[in-house]
Amino acid sequence: MDQAKMNRRTFLGDTGMGFTGMALSAMMFKGGKAQAANGWAPPTGKPYFPARAKSVIWIFNIGGVSHLESFDPKPALNEYAGKSISETPYADRVLNKDAINKILLDPSKQKREVLQKILPLQTGYQRYGQSGLEVSDWFPHMGSCADDICVLRGMWTIDNNHGAQLTFHTGRKITEGAFPTIGSWASYGLGTLNENLPEFVVLGNPSADCCGAAWTHGSAYLGPEYAGVRLKVDPKNPISFVKPDDVKATLQEQRENFGLLGQLNRISGIDYPNDKKLRARIKSYELAFEMQSSVPEVMDLGKEPEHIRKLYGIDTKETKAFGEKCLAARRMVERGVRFVQIFHGYRGNAGAWDSHRDIKRLHGTLSKEVDQPVAGLIKDLKQRGLLDDTMIVWGSEFGRTPGGQGAKGSAITGRDHHPHGFSVVMAGGGLKKGYVDGATDELGFHATEERHYVTDIHATVLHQLGLDPRRMEVPGRKRLDRDFGEPIKKIIA
C-alpha cells in the first residue's frame, strides 16, 4: 500500500498497536462483534442460558396447507356439508365480524368474502399412536410419528394474502419491507458449529417475488453475513462459488490467494469497521474456500446406506426431490449447521399449496411429496440421538377456509386463504412429544384456545437455542412487542 495514502487509523492498526492492533482487528471482524460506545454489544455466539436445542430445520410449504385436511380435521364439516355456515349452530360465534377483523393488520384493505358454503373434508382421518393424535389420511407417515411430534392448532396471522409467507419468517407484514428472519436471528445469536459450512442454509426455491422472495431468508439490518446461503442438493454443483474460477489452481495457490484477499480486506476493515457489506465479503471469501470440499461432501447422498435413502423416499419418484433435501438437512445439522430452511411448493407465484380449486387432487399430490420425507427425517434424527437437540418446524403461511371455493358457475372444489386459525407441527429440541396445543372452533375457523401469533414460534425456537430475542435487539432498530413473541411454555418438556 502507498504509505502516503495510509491514514492514521490504518497505521496504528497495522504498526503502532502491533499485535494488539492485529488482534483487535481480527476480533472486530470475527462475526462483526464490536462493542458500541453505549455499552451495548452483539451476542457473543454463546447461549444466554442453557440451551435444549443446537440446530433447527425449518420446513415451509408455500401457498397455505389446509389445516382441516392435515392436523386439525373437523367432523362437523362432513355433518354440515353443502350448508351455509349461517345454518349451523356455530354461526353467531364463527361469523362475528369483530372476531374476523381484529387479527388483520389492515382489515379495510384485506377484506375477503367469508365463504359460507361448507366443503366437506376431502380425505379421511384417523388417530395415531398412544397420544391418539388425529391426522388426515394424506399424512400417514407423519401420523406414524404422532408420539414424537407436537401440533399447534391455535395459530393465527395478520395477513390473509400470500404476503403472509414473509410474515411467517419475520413477523412483519410484507408492506413493511425487509426484516431479519428467524434463521438470521439464530445465525446472529449463535453463529456456526462448523467453520467450513454456513450457519444458515436454504434448500429449495424460496417464495416468489409476490410473497417475499429473498426476504424470506434474509437478514435485513443485521447485515448480509447473517442471511441464508442457498445451496442445491448436487455434489457436483451445490453453489456457484464453491469452485475456483481457475480450475488449474492448486489448493495451496487458492489458500494463498484467499489469504491475500483477506489481508487487503482487513486493511480496509480498519478504515471502515462498521461496514457490514465488507464484513460479509470477507466472510464469503473465507467460507467459499472452505466450502469447496465441505459442501460437496455434505451433498453426496450416495454415501448413505440404501435403507436410509428408502426411509426418506429417495427411491420413489414422487418423494425423491424433497426426500433429498430432508436427508441433506440431516447431514448438515449432523455437521454443525445451525439453521436449515427447506422450501416446498415453489411455482413462481403464490405457491403450489394454494388450492383454490381441486384441493383433493392438488393437496393429495403435494402431501405425498412431503409426508414420507418429513417423517423419515424425524425417525432418522431420533434413531441417531439427534432429535433431542434438533428442532423441526413444519408449516405454511396460513390454513384454508371451512367454506368451499370454485370458479363462478363451476363446482366448489377448493378452499380460500385462512389466517384466523391454522396448524404448525414441531418436534425435537426439548419439546413435548405426542402433544396438542390449542384448538380451533368446531368448523376450524377461529383459533379459540392457546392462540399464538407466528412470532411465538420464533420466540420458542430461540428460547430452546438458549437465546432471548429482547437481549438481541439492535440499538436504533425499534421492534414491536409482536416481533419478539413469547415462548410457548406449555409445549416445552
Percentage above 90 pLDDT, the chain: 68
Give the model's pLDDT for residue 272.
47
Give the model's pLDDT for residue 289.
52
Give the domain 52-235+305-474 fold.
Alkaline Phosphatase, subunit A (3.40.720)
Whether the Cβ atoms of residue 99 and residue 446 lie closer than 8 Å to each other: yes
- Whole-structure pTM value: 0.85
Give the model's pLDDT for residue 108.
59
Q: How confident is the model at residue 157 (pLDDT cuts 50, 70, 90)?
A: very high
In this predicted structure, the answer to whether residue 394 has a pLDDT above a threshold of 80 is yes
Distance (Å, whole) CA 91 – CA 386:
46
Give the model's pLDDT for residue 27.
38
Give the model's pLDDT for residue 275.
55
In this predicted structure, the answer to whether residue 15 has a pLDDT above a threshold of 70 is no
In this predicted structure, the answer to whether residue 325 has a pLDDT above a threshold of 50 is yes
In this predicted structure, the answer to whether residue 322 has a pLDDT above a threshold of 60 is yes
All three cell numbers of 225, joined, read: 453475513
| Residue given cell 458449529 in the structure block | 193
Q: How confident is the model at residue 195 (pLDDT cuts 50, 70, 90)?
A: confident
Whether the Cβ atoms of residue 263 and residue 2 lie closer than 8 Å to each other: no
Lowest mean pLDDT among 1-5, 223-227, 336-340, 485-489: 1-5
Distinct helix (H) and strand (E) counts, the chain? 16, 15
Give the model's pLDDT for residue 6.
44
Query: What's the CA dihedral at 426, 423, 186, 352 to 10 degrees?
Result: 110
Give the model's pLDDT for residue 239.
66
Q: Beta strand 339-344 with 55-61: parallel, antiparallel or unpaired?
A: parallel
Give the model's pLDDT for residue 42.
74
Percentage above 70 pLDDT, the chain: 80
Mean pLDDT of 217-246: 79
Give the model's pLDDT for residue 111.
61
Lowest mean pLDDT among 144-153, 174-183, 188-197: 188-197
Distance (Å, whole) CA 229 – CA 217:
8
Within 10 Å of residue 16's Cβ, how many Cβ atoms?
10
**Nearest of 3, 16, 34, 23 to residue 474 by alpha carbon:** 34
Give the model's pLDDT for residue 410.
82
Alpha-carbon distance values, 353 to 53, 60, 136, 357, 367 (Å): 30, 11, 16, 11, 9
Question: What does the pLDDT look like over 419-451, one tens digit per residue?
Answer: 999 999 999 999 999 999 999 999 999 999 999
Whether the Cβ atoms of residue 388 and residue 148 lie closer than 8 Å to each other: no
What pairs with residue 417 in β-bridges?
Answer: 400
Mean pLDDT of 57-80: 98
Whether the Cβ atoms of residue 390 and residue 333 lie closer than 8 Å to each other: yes
Alpha-carbon distance values, 255 to 114, 198, 251, 291 (Å): 61, 19, 6, 13
Distance (Å, whole) CA 34 – CA 22:
14
- Which comes out higher in pLDDT, residue 469 or 120? 120
Q: How confident is the model at residue 409 (pLDDT cuts 50, 70, 90)?
A: confident
In this predicted structure, the answer to whether residue 152 has a pLDDT above a threshold of 80 is yes
Give the model's pLDDT for residue 366.
98
Q: How confident is the model at residue 175 (pLDDT cuts 50, 70, 90)?
A: very high
All three cell numbers of 1, joined, read: 500500500
Distance (Å, whole) CA 456 – CA 444:
20
Question: What does the pLDDT look like over 266-319, one tens digit per residue?
Answer: 444 445 455 555 555 555 545 555 566 678 888 999 999 999 999 999 999 999
Distance (Å, whole) CA 328 – CA 230:
13
Average pLDDT over the chain reads 85
**Nearest of 58, 127, 71, 62 to residue 366 by alpha carbon:** 62
Side chain identity, residue 72: D
Q: How confident is the model at residue 22 (pLDDT cuts 50, 70, 90)?
A: very low
Degrees (nearest 5) of the Cα angle 107, 109, 115? Answer: 65
| Helices within 71-181 (DSSP H only) | 76-79, 91-94, 97-101, 107-110, 140-143, 164-170
Distance (Å, whole) CA 432 – CA 453:
20
Question: What does the pLDDT look like over 348-368, one tens digit per residue?
Answer: 999 999 999 999 999 999 999
Side chain identity, residue 449: E
Give the model's pLDDT for residue 407.
76
Side chain identity, residue 286: E
In this predicted structure, the answer to whether residue 242 has a pLDDT above a threshold of 90 is no
